[in-house]
Amino acid sequence: MTFHLEMREIVKRFPGVLANDHVSLAVEHGEIHALLGENGAGKSTLMQILYGLYQRDSGEIRLDGAPVPLIDTTEAIGRGIGMIHQEFMLVRSLSVAENIVLGLDGGRLGGRLDLDGASARVRALSERHGLAIDPSALIEHLPIGVQQRVEILKLLYRDARLMILDEPTAVLTPQEKDGLFAVLRALAAEGRSVIIVTHKLHEIMDIASRVTVMRDGRVTACVETAATSERELARLMVGRDVELKAVRTPQRPGRAVLSVEGLTAHDGAGLLRLSNVSLDVHAGEILGVAGVDGNGQPELAQTLLGLRDAEQGAIRLDGTDISGLTTAERRGLGLAYIPADRRHVGSVPELSVADNASLGDQWRLARLGGLVRDDAAIHRHAAKLVRRFGVRAAGLDFPAGKLSGGNLQKLILAREIMREPMALVVEQPTRGLDVGAIETVWAELLAQRAAGKAILLISAELEEILNLADRIAVMFEGHIVGILPAGEASPETIGLMMAGRRPVEVG
């Protein structure tokens, strides 16, 4: 039998990192193949080599049995390979059709962009594959789940036969994920092949027929999903048993540390994003904020941190009104923030791991009363943090922007926790993390709770909220639908509240 794709003994070295160490991967025609591995294991690198974004140092790639020379992305697309990246690459201010023909010669007619022709083709493809997309819609007006279907449509427009999806479900709601999987199954049934990179073991069991597991740049196994279990996959990947079950010891919460009253805010387009939001987070308590992405959670976090203005409402930190303070002042008073957007808000990608580890705290680590930068102290601090949180970096001088997605997240989380804050606003803390890393992050958050910190945990992962939170607030369309003690919350109740139903209607 000829495989659709064979990658043999692929080696890729970055300065100081052996990202792919003789990696082999084979995919059959019409197969949905999962690629699993710890943060920094080398999955994205391998996929970027396949897609022509990086060149392999050695090793062989075959498509339908024929050797593929070193190629760039245009040539990869020409050979029927398509990739959807961890971070979408759509131009937000352009329409669906414009995004799809962007950079394609086929969309041109006599040197002009033939948008009408393209739109008609996009519409036909969308109907044929049941994607329900309006070619004239602007990207910025589309929910994430639909944007992702646009990415898929883009691949279909180029007639990709082998589709690579790098963590496609990290930002999807459960319903959107089901929709995506239905589309993928239909594409596979047509004989197209799919490689899906994901950290979610149950998704692998659900969608893939085989899974290749990577650890530390090497392949540790390739197994049929029918012949394995989530537990075994976790073990193959992390090298030990992982029990994703947080143990929340009973604890009496203390005084209200972070209080919000009547917070109301509109966005730039005049849409109401926060509507009269009130809540208290107590010392030694994790207050979970559940909700489908895009129901005001990021706006809540940003307003608390002073990254966005509120028209009404008060924010108090340990009794002090901080509504008028700058972000730096709020941080200085003991408010920590772990943002969902690690690359743009939480870190400075050009700076080193060491510098990112002490962002905002350089003065504290400086010499001569804050006048002279103390590189040794900055390095010592970073080394401690990297060790305690298991951040995989080629070195402390390595640019933070080149860390794998999961390792950058661990770095930011570690920095904020090490600042010994009074209250933490934590947004989607385990998005894109492998199960081993999730275990670490959960344990650290619970340790912060035990240490008496007030934690506002915003998460779209219901499992995370149910495992960690003492009380659960559910947000829908900018307001809080209700707040329940954890003991009264079931996935069903919270799920219904996430759709806007009040707890009384539910319970």
Ligand X SMILES: Nc1ncnc2c1ncn2[C@@H]1O[C@H](COP(=O)(O)OP(=O)(O)OP(=O)(O)O)[C@@H](O)[C@H]1O
Q: Using CB under 6 A as the criterion, which residues of the chain lie in contact with ligand X when the complex forms? A: 14, 17, 19, 37, 39-45, 392, 402-407
Looking at the Cβ atoms of 135 and 346, the one nearer to Mg ion is 346
Q: What does each C-alpha distance from 11 to 61, 94, 341, 398 come to in angstroms? A: 11, 38, 31, 21
Rounded CA gap, 345 and 341, in Å?
A: 6
Looking at the Cβ atoms of 353 and 454, the one nearer to ligand X is 353
Looking at the Cβ atoms of 275 and 404, the one nearer to ligand X is 404
Looking at the Cβ atoms of 39 and 459, the one nearer to ligand X is 39
Phi, psi of 370 (to 5 degrees): 90, 10
Tally of CB atoms within 10 A around 278: 15
Q: Could you tell me the smallest distance in angstroms from the CB atom of residue 489 to Mg ion?
A: 32
- The two structure tokens encoding residue 88: 């979408």
Q: Could you tell me the smallest distance in angstroms from the CB atom of residue 40 to Mg ion?
A: 8
DSSP β-ladder status, 335-338 and 423-427: parallel
Looking at the Cβ atoms of 349 and 452, the one nearer to Mg ion is 349
Q: Could you tell me the smallest distance in angstroms from the CB atom of residue 45 to ligand X?
A: 3
Residue 306 binds which entry of ligand X, Mg ion, none, CB below 5-8 Å type-dependent? none
Residue 39 binds which entry of ligand X, Mg ion, none, CB below 5-8 Å type-dependent? ligand X
- The two structure tokens encoding residue 107: 């969309």
Rounded CA gap, 43 and 390, in Å?
A: 19
HEC profile for 25-78? EEECCCCEEEEEECCCCCHHHHHHHHCCCCCCCEEEEEECCEEECCCCHHHHHH
Residue 403 binds which entry of Mg ion, ligand X, none, CB below 5-8 Å type-dependent? ligand X
Using DSSP, state whether 501 is helix, strand or coil: coil
Rg of the chain in Å (alpha carbons): 24
End-to-end C-alpha distance for the chain, whole angstroms: 56
Q: What is the pattern of x (binds Mg ion, CB under 5 A) and - over residues 40-79?
A: ----x-----------------------------------
Q: Could you tell me the smallest distance in angstroms from the CB atom of residue 228 to Mg ion?
A: 22
Looking at the Cβ atoms of 343 and 501, the one nearer to ligand X is 343
- The two structure tokens encoding residue 89: 């690459």
In the DSSP assignment, the letter for residue 139 is G
- Tell me which amino acid residue 226 is: A
Query: In this structure, are residues 350 and 363 in contact, taking their beta carbons and an 8 Å threshold?
Result: no
Looking at the Cβ atoms of 62 and 402, the one nearer to ligand X is 402
Q: Could you tell me the smallest distance in angstroms from the CB atom of residue 213 to ligand X?
A: 11
Residue 392 binds which entry of Mg ion, ligand X, none, CB below 5-8 Å type-dependent? ligand X
Size of the site for Mg ion (CB under 5 A): 1
Residue 142 binds which entry of ligand X, Mg ion, none, CB below 5-8 Å type-dependent? none
Tally of CB atoms within 10 A around 33: 26
Q: Could you tell me the smallest distance in angstroms from the CB atom of residue 207 to ligand X?
A: 18
Residue 37 binds which entry of Mg ion, ligand X, none, CB below 5-8 Å type-dependent? ligand X
The residue number with the shortest CB distance to Mg ion is 44
Looking at the Cβ atoms of 18 and 205, the one nearer to ligand X is 18
Q: Could you tell me the smallest distance in angstroms from the CB atom of residue 401 to ligand X?
A: 9
The residues of the shown chain that bind Mg ion, judged by CB under 5 A, are 44
